[in-house]
Chain A
Amino acid sequence: MATTANSGHDVAVLGVGMHPWGKWGRNFVEYGVTAARDALRDAGIPWTDVDFVSGADTMRNGYPGYVSGATFAQALGWTGARVASSYAACASGVTALEAARTRILAGLCDVALVVGADTTPKGFLAPNAGDRPTDPDWLRFRLIGATNPTYFALAARRRMDLHGATSTDFAKVKVKNATNGLANPNARFQKAVTVEDVLASPMVADPLHLLEICATSDGGAAIVLTSMDYAARHPGSAGSPVRVSAVSTVTPTYPNTIIDLPDIATDSTAVVAVGERSFKASIAQAAYEEAGIGPEDLSVAEVYDLSTALELDWYEDIGLCKAGEAERLLNDGDTQLGGRIPVNPSGGLACFGEAVPAQAIAQICEITWQLRGQATGRQVERATAGITANQGLFGHGSAVLLTR
């Protein structure tokens, strides 16, 4: 069992559930409800015992998506439970989780259900229709033609220039994750690929090829979160439950000098010097500080591989190695299953594609299965602590530390 310095702030993950990722084309509510029922069954807790429903919103499915907490609560059958709906782009799932965790830690509820689900259109994620010339997300498409892969590619090219990364290094990330995903029944893509396959796929945004950029998917994920006291009393949770030991949802600090979706310019460094840590590094650091553990205590990590190159950035940002050493970590096999610190044993976004409000929750589901020893075919041996890391838009991001 991993010991954390600040375990008085822990809450228990008693249940996790998912609807498989795919391009199913059905109502997102169906995926969320399937995942929620799965998580409740996993926890052995009836829906009617849930005090608080916390939904992660989707912006692409009309009004029900903007009030997802209530949408899922109604679909499961109104019980009078308290409700919240959260939107934080790719970090929405963890923002919903944090609403539940803080309510539990405040003593205001014992059992919370966190749900996120999405149905996504084909192709590039694009802004909603209509002219909105004061919206940075509209402006970057209109004025520059900057899609999400544009930003992933700027980061990738930067990595090549700063650290000598190669296209082969990037392709190897995809190969690793595709291998991991073969054993994950919830993954959309369960197909092995080679470095040659990756490099032969069409260039989308130089230096990134089609197989290096995550797709958009349909999917749903859910978590049943309870107080540690409730978990100790609950007959279904014999033994020690997986714990949420820290949640980080920090914003950047001024000046934020890495160009981030959807902005077209950085902050200025003319007056205030660049800080010690980048935004992404500060996300993980805040989680480590809150839990009182460090990267050396980790058994496993699930990071947001929106592109192959971004996974390598995360190795450094979550402290697995120093800046510029991620390619060596990858090439030494440290981050593959059986290595020192496996990253994305689920197959990652490379095998899932992104279902925005569900994705950060899915990362937590995977770490939970890993810490319970239930990740059949992709299990990290003797896993006791894991981190999830994710970056959204507009200064949202998240990291969650889970221990057992």
Chain B
Amino acid sequence: MTTKTRVPALGAEGWFAPDAELPHLLGLRCTTCGTYVFPKAGHGCPNPACLGIDFDEVELSRTGTIWSYTNACYQPPPPFVLPGESHEPFCIAAVHLAEEGLVIMGTVVAGVTVDDLSVGQEVELVVDVLFSDDDTDHLIWKWRPTNAIGGDA
């Protein structure tokens, strides 16, 4: 079996380091006021009271707490790409990162159901395959409960 090329999914390039041992999302921090931005945007600081236009790239906290969660019982429409032969319901969590004051959505790793999740629960960031084609794994960040027994990303 040949090894597939691992690349961040289209649109998420530069949003995380795909091969870091302990993966982080990569966000921006305004060098003037210190606020955080994710996903990255090149429009200057979003704080209306700040005139800053320069940012440092920063690693965001790799653990957070679930702000809310749900699941996708039906296959989403394109541009979603079905990762396997048939749709398997998956969970989606919106996760609060305390230091950055951000809530960031992501898919929850396979094998976790809504019955395994609760608001306030701790999760950590992992990098996982969004979908694969012939020679490429398209990678994305996902959330995994820190007490998880399911999920093998």
Using CB atoms and an 8 Å cutoff, list the residues of chain A in contact with chain B. 123-124, 126-127, 129, 131, 133-134, 138-147, 150, 153-158, 161, 202-208, 254-255, 257, 259, 264-272
Contacts and interface: CB of A to CB of B under 8 A. Distances in A.
16 contacts: A126-B78, A139-B11, A139-B12, A142-B11, A143-B11, A144-B105, A146-B105, A150-B72, A150-B92, A154-B70, A154-B94, A161-B118, A203-B73, A255-B47, A265-B38, A268-B100
Interface string B36-56: 111100000011110000000
Nearest to B76: A145
Q: Which of A131, A265, A271 has the most CB of B within 10 A?
A: A265
Contacts of A126: 77-78
A294 B153 CA distance: 53
Nearest to A145: B76
Interface in B78-129: 78-81, 90, 92, 94, 99-107, 114, 118-120
Contacts of A266: 102-104
Q: Which of B12, B37, B38, B74 has the most CB of A within 10 A?
A: B74
A127 B49 CA distance: 33
B130 interface: yes
A127 B10 CA distance: 16
Nearest to A126: B77
B35 interface: yes
B94 to A, nearest CB: 5
B76 A141 contact: yes
Interface in B20-38: 30, 33-38
A267 B46 contact: yes
Nearest to A264: B105
A270 B130 contact: no
A129 B79 CA distance: 8
B69 A157 contact: yes
Given A143-B12, A272-B47, 7 more contacts: A129-B78, A133-B11, A142-B81, A158-B67, A161-B68, A265-B103, A265-B104
Main secondary structure of the interface of A (DSSP, over half): loop
Nearest to A203: B73
A141 B76 CA distance: 7
Contacts of A139: 11-12, 39
Contacts of B69: 154, 157
A141 B78 contact: yes
B90 to A, nearest CB: 7
A134 B47 CA distance: 21
A143 B130 contact: yes
A207 B92 CA distance: 12
A138 B77 CA distance: 11
B102 to A, nearest CB: 5
A156 B118 CA distance: 13
A255 B130 CA distance: 30
B73 A145 contact: no
B29 to A, nearest CB: 9
B80 A141 contact: yes
A376 to B, nearest CB: 38
B13 to A, nearest CB: 8
Contact of A204 (B34, B36, B74, B80): B74
Given A141-B79, A157-B119, A268 B105 contact: no
Nearest to A208: B70
A204 B73 contact: yes
Closest 7 pairs between A and B when the two form their complex, measured CB to CB: A269-B101, A133-B11, A153-B70, A126-B77, A161-B119, A268-B36, A271-B35
A259 B33 contact: no
B52 to A, nearest CB: 11
Nearest to B83: A145
Contacts of A133: 10-11
Given A143-B11, A153-B70, A270 B99 contact: yes
A144 B107 contact: yes
Contacts of A156: 70
Q: Which of A124, A140, A268 has the most CB of B within 10 A?
A: A268
A259 B72 contact: no
Contacts of B92: 144-146, 150, 154
Nearest to B37: A268
Contacts of A202: 73
B114 to A, nearest CB: 5
Contact of B47 (A123, A140, A254, A265): A254
A136 to B, nearest CB: 8
